[in-house]
Structure 1
Amino acid sequence: MNHDGWLSALAQELRRRGVGGDAVRQVVAEAAVHLRESGGDPARVFGAPGTYAAAVAESVGRPPRRPGEVLLHACGITKKYGRHTVLRDVDLVVRSGQIAAVIGANGCGKSTLLSICAGITGADKGEVRVRGSLGYCPQDGGTADFLDADEHFVLVGAGRGMTREESARIGSARAAALDWAPGRGRQARHLSGGTRQKLNLVLAGLGEPDVLLLDEPYQGFDKGTYLDFWHQVWEWREAGKAIVVVTHLLNQLDRVDTVLELSPVRKAAA
């Protein structure tokens, strides 16, 4: 089946499963981009239209699950670098089964807020409470130059109570879901920026943490990989996790449950 025929069959299957018209158009458009970018056979990339439509319907074709208990609560976060205030009295509450987007102009403290929530950067004022375990995908860094992907999986997995075999198996499966086959022995320093972000994203999800902090996790991804990323995020939401995604792409806000918009902190009047 060619691309157009597969996409048409996908749309029919989605409608048959009760997926709304807007969601059908969005899913088909994203699948078309993925196929165009990958150039692959639709059956190999996605499987049969009915099988793929069933998986999509589970994540986007029904109302999101009702949010549960609060898993992340950042209250009154203030951070200064020298005389420059980056964040002032910022609050963020994310519940189980909820995706929160953090948006705002460059320099307004999005990455700093996530780093504070992850416990990497200290706040000058305020408190962060996390219920359960936490996974963090930074915008920069996060990988060790002289380790390959499997070594990263084993190292991070060990810190989360996973066996060597389990870490390698799950890490490789999560990488494959992002259209990446890690090469054994290929050190992280030789990976492209986009592939390093795929590695960071896989590491963030190892051990099934309760809270996931994702700082522009798709930096360097090709357009087709966005679909894979958002399906992973929707699966995490359905599993009852709390997810925070820093993004500057405002057209993605219909995919999340709550939005925190940060603005540059203005100097107080003298």
Structure 2
Amino acid sequence: MPPDARLSLSAVSKSYGRTTVLRDVHLDVPAGALVGVVGENGAGKSTLLRIAVGQLAPDAGRVVRSATLGYCPQQVRVDDALTVEQHLRLFQAAYRLPDLHRAEELLDLFGLASSRRRRLGVLSGGTRQKLNLTLALMHDPRLLILDEPHQGFDWDNYERFWALTERLRDGGCSIVVVSHLLHDQSRFDTVHKLSEGSLHLERAAV
């Protein structure tokens, strides 16, 4: 593992029965880097993500994380019966945070402050995704792994997302964005393509 890496995958492989999903995957994410991983549906992105965040064990290889993790999965991890405020309180307890100051900053950034008392079941998909991001960021993680993070966003929120991402990177946070299609690849330090179970460097920093 490189000395400045926040996340390192070394020779990671995973199969389901006779189907090989990942084969000998290597990925190092340095401190303060924005890394893209792109792959078509069925390429193994979900398996790679679950292994990277510790939800799934690889059949072979090694995964090392050396920083506090924030994870934003593609499937929004919220309860339709609870309000935005109740979600914040639950995650405050889970993260053992003394207050909700950072969460409130994020609510303001994403225009969620007026929805604090609304149940998730009545909110749009884009609004739910904003809360999903807020929950992943409210404990100020140093390693952030995002799966299709801006799905359902309009243009203004898409731009706010990238402005926030750039500020986090400039502050030393390591960020991995996983998607079936990466627009604005010039924003990334490196872009890697997952295809047929193998991960290849597609674009490196200029």
TM-score by length of 2: 0.88
Decide which structure has the larger Cα Rg and report it. 1
2:55 aligned residue: 120
Of 179, 184, 199 in structure 2, the residue corresponding to residue 247 of structure 1 is 179
1:256 aligned residue: 188
Of 193, 199, 218 in structure 1, the residue corresponding to residue 150 of structure 2 is 218
2:116 aligned residue: 184
Which amino acid counterpart does residue 34 of structure 2 have in structure 1? I
Closer, same or farther: CA 102–255 of 1 in aligned 2, 3 Å:
same
Closer, same or farther: CA 204–182 of 1 in aligned 2, 3 Å:
farther
Cα shift at 1:183: 2.1
The answer as to whether partners of 2:143 and 2:173 remain within 8 angstroms in 1 is yes
Cα shift at 1:182: 4.7
SS of residue matched to 1:251: coil
Of 159, 166, 169 in structure 2, the residue corresponding to residue 237 of structure 1 is 169
Question: How far apart are the structure 2 equivalents of 1:122 and 1:195?
Answer: 32
1:131-159, Cα deviation, whole Å (9 max, x unpaired): 12100000013112322112212221222
Gapped regions of structure 1 (runs ≥ 5): 1-67
Which amino acid counterpart does residue 31 of structure 2 have in structure 1? S
Of 106, 114, 127 in structure 2, the residue corresponding to residue 195 of structure 1 is 127
RMSD: 1.8
Question: How far apart are the structure 2 equivalents of 1:170 and 1:246?
Answer: 24
Of 79, 85, 107 in structure 1, the residue corresponding to residue 14 of structure 2 is 79
The answer as to whether partners of 2:13 and 2:61 remain within 8 angstroms in 1 is yes
Question: How far apart are the structure 1 equivalents of 2:114 and 2:16?
Answer: 38
2:65 aligned residue: 130
Aligned pair 1:88/2:23, yes or no? yes
Question: How far apart are the structure 1 equivalents of 2:127 and 2:183?
Answer: 24
Question: How far apart are the structure 1 equivalents of 2:123 and 2:165?
Answer: 24
Q: Percent identity?
A: 43
Of 105, 116, 127 in structure 2, the residue corresponding to residue 173 of structure 1 is 105
1:103-143, Cα deviation, whole Å (9 max, x unpaired): 11111112221121111222222221111210000001311
Aligned pair 1:145/2:77, yes or no? no
Closer, same or farther: CA 226–117 of 1 in aligned 2, 3 Å:
same
Runs (4+) of structure 1 exceeding 4 A deviation are: none
The answer as to whether partners of 2:39 and 2:181 remain within 8 angstroms in 1 is no
The answer as to whether partners of 2:44 and 2:197 remain within 8 angstroms in 1 is no
Question: How far apart are the structure 1 equivalents of 2:8 and 2:125?
Answer: 31
The answer as to whether partners of 1:149 and 1:182 remain within 8 angstroms in 2 is no
Gapped regions of structure 2 (runs ≥ 5): 199-206
2:42 aligned residue: 107
1:19-51, Cα deviation, whole Å (9 max, x unpaired): xxxxxxxxxxxxxxxxxxxxxxxxxxxxxxxxx
2:202 aligned residue: none
2:141 aligned residue: 209
Question: How far apart are the structure 2 equivalents of 1:139 and 1:74?
Answer: 21
> Higher strand proportion, which one?
2
